[in-house]
Amino acid sequence: MPDHKGDIPDPDEDDIMAGDRRISRPDSRLPDWYISDAAYRPIPIVWFAATVIAQSIALFVITLVFLDRSGWITIALTTLVTVGLLHWAWQRGIGTAALGWRIATPVILGLQLALIAAVSLERI
């Protein structure tokens, strides 16, 4: 900070203070409340939504492609895809998310799988 009260601080060299709060600093020129030092981390709902949407599309395609085949094929393939997507979501970040996301993800994927399995049972 400048030594004299009348001096205007240089934002390229000095922190700019407003009382006890820093409102700008040389390396970012952003207020401290903006959390300029924080790293980007996608929120768990993004991972959850991506997994659920990917599963919905994959299960729909598998069901349509194998509509005239045995229900066992559909159930096996959709189970394999669901387990793969669950593993993908876990590695992507759901495994480190809050407990609610770690519970909701396999539950919702399981419910979608159960609906496909229920429809495929009549073809067994």
What global pTM score does this model have? Answer: 0.67
Quote the number of domains for the chain: 2
Q: In which domain, by residue range, is 87 found?
A: 44-123
Same-domain check for residues 99 and 52: yes
Q: Which residues of the chain have pLDDT under 50?
A: 36
b/e sequence 86-124, b meaning 16+ C-beta within 10 Å: beebbebbbeebeeebbebbbeebeebbeebeeebeeee
pLDDT of residue 38: 53
Same-domain check for residues 13 and 63: no
Same-domain check for residues 30 and 48: no
